[in-house]
Amino acid sequence: MATVNLNLSEELQKFVNSQVESGQFDGASGYIEALIARAKNGKEKLEALLIEGLDSGDPIPLDAEEWTRIRRDVEQRISNGQ
């Protein structure tokens, strides 16, 4: 495992300490590892969603008429409790 040294402002160090004190992490390194893992997973998920979108078929133009339809659909879903 590699070692990385970080210089944090006092404010950020206090924040990291408070996260560690919450009991969810095994020290500051555990907290930083969790942040990096979350960022990595988020990037991978975003890339997968982008590929899915590209593979989903022919694009449709998002003109004013389409946005009106989308807004109407959302408003209807909200009023139906969906």
pLDDT over 90 (residue 60): no
Select from 35, 3, 40 the least CA-distant residue to 16: 35
CB 28 within 8 A of CB 17: yes
CA–CA distances in Å: residue 49 to residues 44, 56, 57, 66, 70 = 9, 10, 14, 22, 20
CB distance 28 to 16 below 8 Å: yes
pLDDT tens per residue across span 18-53: 999 999 999 999 999 999 999 999 999 999 999 999
Q: What is the pLDDT of residue 61?
A: 86
Q: Is the pTM of this model over 0.85?
A: no
